[in-house]
Structure 1
């Protein structure tokens, strides 16, 4: 059923992933004087206005996560597969965090990196997906216990 608590967790996880896609996730500031470069999931807008698509992999990971979470929401009849898809999206988000850390350290070595507020959204989604998986497994245990009683 769609009115379970894991559906709420999954919808909140989807909302935070979409918000992370839309907002800037960091900025690079020169050590001396100068304008900063803004980093989003898809591109980096440099101070001179040039757009570089260096972090496109971050965008691709989050784009794969969105339909997967949607499928997980509507796959409420198969709880085992729903739990497996939660783990799959969690692994994708962990990969996003690792790549984000790598991009923040390797792209502009001579600049200071400032973490954006939206970069915490995948971690929030990770926690929400963990809670959803726990609720799915609790429902599965409840159904199995009810089957044993019959």
Structure 2
């Protein structure tokens, strides 16, 4: 049953995480100083041209995208699909924690932190994964009710 609504929610969550991987997340501008720092999932680019690696953000979001895509094809095993949805939710929450730590560690003392649109995409993906999990649980209840009737 690949045409279930959970599969659509998980596919949309996959698309949201992949789009977030490609776009800049934030821009950090020091107060009173020139230049800015652009924060991507894979690297930090300063105005001086320095390029720092931030593999944690990229790794967490890549695992979340892979888990969303893989969970779509587990439609025969609803319990495992539900557990993978919970793991995916934890990964998306962890992404925001790592983003906060990374932003704090790369920022000067006085700074202006401007989030880009791509920073809200993991939250949208988390909502979609939560809705998919609710659909999986609903399907499991329907199957159990049908088994009781037999």
TM-score by length of 2: 0.96
1:75 is paired with a residue whose SS is coil
Deviation at 1:109, TM superposition (A): 2.8
Q: Identify the residue that residue 82 of structure 1 maps to in structure 2.
A: 81
Matches within 5 A, 1:1-150: 1-53=1-53, 55-110=54-109, 111-150=111-150
Alignment partners' CA distance in 1, 2:48 and 2:100 = 24
CA contact (8 A) 2:13 2:65 kept: no
**Alpha-carbon separation, structure 2, partners of 1:123 and 1:103:** 18
Higher mean C-alpha displacement, 72-81 vs 43-52: 43-52
**SS of the residue aligned with 1:60?**
helix
Q: Which runs of 4+ in 1 moved over 4 A?
A: none
Paired residues in the alignment total: 149
Q: CA deviation at 1:89?
A: 0.6
CA distance in 2, matches of 1:87, 1:67: 14
Q: Is the contact made by 2:5 and 2:132 (CA closer than 8 Å) also made in structure 1?
A: yes
Moved more, 77-86 or 109-118: 109-118
What TM-score, normalized to structure 1?
0.96
Q: C-alpha deviations, 1:55-113, integer Å up to 9, x for none?
A: 22000101111221111000100000000000001001110011111222221133321
Query: Over aligned residues, Cα RMSD in angstroms?
Result: 1.0
